[in-house]
């Protein structure tokens, strides 16, 4: 019984000292966004703008940025079958962003791609593409947050 208690204590020590830190808990945002300008009015830009709204006009932050967003999506055929129909497709979202504060102007392009099989049912294909788009936008928003946290250092 004593050996089990010692093993349990050793395991607890290793788990506590493994270096796990939550991504957003440790990082406090030291920035605020004064305005978000959309260069093109599409669904991708609006979703990114909505995800960045939590940073708008936060008071007493040392860094403030004006943000400009331009985005586009591209669906291209990567392979075809013998009849010439699309067999596999690639969904690509590209977002060009400009962050400007009083002193500097930062330009960054965020891109995410995803390859998938074509489907015969076009309704299911469209729903699947909407899911892909939402997932890619989530990845891009995560990358934008990481970029903003790196700018504040």
Question: At 145, is the pLDDT very low, low, confident or very high (cuts 50, 70, 90)?
Answer: confident
Sorted by where each begins, the domain ranges of the chain are 23-151
pLDDT mean over 95-122: 92
Say yes or no: domain 23-151 is CATH 3.30.160.150: yes
CA dist 31 and 61 (Å) reads: 5
pLDDT at 72: 94
Residue keyed to tokens 């390859």: 115
- The answer to whether 99 touches 108, Cβ cutoff 8 Å, is yes
Please give the residue that has the higher pLDDT: either 97 or 26.
97
pLDDT at 1: 64
Question: At 61, is the pLDDT very low, low, confident or very high (cuts 50, 70, 90)?
Answer: confident
CA dist 16 and 33 (Å) reads: 36
pLDDT mean over 110-130: 94
pLDDT at 17: 60
- The answer to whether 135 touches 116, Cβ cutoff 8 Å, is no
pLDDT at 16: 66
pLDDT at 19: 61
pTM: predicted TM-score of the whole model, two decimal places: 0.77
Please give the residue that has the higher pLDDT: either 151 or 96.
96
Q: How many CA atoms lie within 13 A of 81 on its CB side?
A: 8
CA dist 111 and 93 (Å) reads: 6
pLDDT at 107: 93
Does the pLDDT of residue 147 top 80, yes or no?
A: yes
CA dist 44 and 4 (Å) reads: 55
- The answer to whether 33 touches 63, Cβ cutoff 8 Å, is no
CA dist 97 and 40 (Å) reads: 12
Q: What share of the chain is helix, strand, coil (3-state, %, to 5)?
A: 40, 35, 25
- How do 31-38 and 63-80 pair as beta strands? parallel
Please give the residue that has the higher pLDDT: either 59 or 84.
84
Q: Return the H-helix or E-strand segment holding 91.
A: strand 86-100
């Amino acid at each position: 019984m004593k050996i089990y208690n010692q093993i349990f204590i050793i395991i607890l020590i290793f788990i506590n000292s493994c270096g796990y830190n939550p991504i957003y808990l440790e990082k406090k945002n030291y920035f605020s966004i004064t305005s978000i300008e959309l260069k093109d009015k599409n669904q991708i830009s609006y979703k990114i703008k909505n995800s960045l709204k939590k940073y708008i006009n936060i008071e007493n932050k040392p860094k403030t940025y004006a943000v400009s967003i331009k985005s586009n999506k591209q669906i291209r055929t990567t392979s075809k079958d013998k009849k010439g129909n699309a067999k596999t497709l690639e969904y690509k979202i590209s977002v060009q962003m400009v962050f400007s504060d009083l002193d500097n102007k930062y330009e960054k392009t965020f891109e995410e791609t995803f390859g998938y099989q074509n489907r015969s049912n076009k309704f299911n294909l469209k729903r699947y593409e909407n899911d892909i788009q939402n997932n890619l936008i989530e990845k891009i928003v995560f990358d934008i947050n990481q970029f903003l946290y790196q700018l504040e250092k």
